[in-house]
Structure 1
């Protein structure tokens, strides 16, 4: 087999646990989270924080960071903005949030790859 195919397969296997957690957290955010409403004292919400932490740091450390955040989210907490610290990562994120292996042909994006780039809107001529 081709060496690049083995490399890509290794990346897929290595990132599989993260992507399984992404599916679970996205399902939670779609089904269970709306039932609670906006009750989190922090921004982003605890489930979004856990999702970003797992995407950036992996399942073990990201889950620990998410659990610590949930433990801090209580009625006596001051709350506020609490983002996951950015980490230089050698991978990309899909639109759904899956962690993808690095692309060897495209350069790494500069800045925050999670934030969408806002494009100017076209105006229609009357």
Structure 2
């Protein structure tokens, strides 16, 4: 992973971590999906990088509303079928 990509991923993750730290405890569990939208965003950024991962996270957040049933919605695998170097799935 290039330094620029690492910096961008870190910057894109900042608002997600801020949400988890400050807003989520006040709002309680509200996500209709598994994994939660914030967990999905962090994993998408790790697996796909700042731009495609950010796009996946944004799409996911726009689907998280009362008219959507939600359910299991994992992050898709990388397009080439491989994990980026240094990224192992954390469970």
Q: Give TM class, smaller chain.
A: 0.7 to 0.9
The separation in 1 between residues aligned to 2:41 and 2:16, in whole angstroms, is 8
User: 1:77 Cα shift?
Assistant: 0.9
TM-score, normalization: structure 1? Answer: 0.60
Give the distance between the partners of 1:14 and 1:66, measured in 2 at CA: 17
Length, aligned pairs only: 88
Structure 2 unpaired stretches of 5+? none
CA distance change for structure 1 residues 39 and 14 in 2, over 3 Å: closer, same or farther? closer
Task: Note the 1:1-126 alignment, pairs <5 A.
Answer: 11-87=2-78, 88-93=82-87, 113-116=88-91
Return the TM-score normalized by structure 2. 0.80
By percentage of residues, which structure has more helix?
2
Q: CA RMSD in A?
A: 1.9
Please list every run of at least 4 consecutive aligned residues from structure 1 whose deviation after the TM superposition is greater than 4 angstroms: none
Deviations 1:29-58 (CA, angstroms, capped at 9, x unpaired): 122222111111111111111111111111
Structure 1 stretches lacking a partner, 5+ long: 1-9, 94-112, 117-126
